[in-house]
Copies of this chain bind each other. A is one copy, B any other.
Amino acid sequence: MPWSDGSYKIKKVISIGTVSELTGLSERQIRYYEERKLIFPERSKTGIRKYSFQDVETLIEIANQLEEGVLTHEIRKELKRREQLIDPKVVRNSLLQGQLNAHFK
């Protein structure tokens, strides 16, 4: 089974009500953070939002940052920075970019 590896953490299967219970955040807050591009749930064919455990963790971090007075725009940049450190796609592109730079130096 394609999904049965160790990737339970990133599989988007949790609906917003459950995420609300897990994080202690209101559904309003969760939807707002999506509007501000901090979180990216998938959607069922009929438009129902689905989140992963990874998303739940991110949401808790977002809530913590906000409590500290950080603005959503700042949090967004912080999250973006982190993505680049782990996203294989970005890693590949970085390497490619390095080669290009060297080639055209």
| Interface, chain A (partner B; CB < 8 A) | 1, 3-4, 8-9, 11, 13-15, 17-18, 22, 44, 50, 53, 57, 60
Given A13-B13, A15-B15, A18-B13, also A4-B50 (CB < 8 A) = no
Return the chain B residue nearest A19 by Cβ. Answer: B13
**Contact status B13-A22, CB under 8 Å:** yes
Provide the residues of chain B in CB contact with A1, threshold 8 Å: 57, 60
Q: Please, how many angstroms separate the alpha-carbon atoms of A11 and B9 in the complex?
A: 11
11 contacts between A and B (CB under 8 A): A1-B57, A1-B60, A3-B22, A8-B9, A8-B53, A13-B13, A13-B14, A14-B14, A15-B15, A15-B18, A18-B50
Q: How far is the CB of A52 from the nearest CB of chain B, in Å?
A: 9
Provide the residues of chain B in CB contact with A14, threshold 8 Å: 13-14
Provide the residues of chain B in CB contact with A18, threshold 8 Å: 13, 15, 44, 50
Q: Please, how many angstroms separate the alpha-carbon atoms of A18 and B18 in the complex?
A: 13
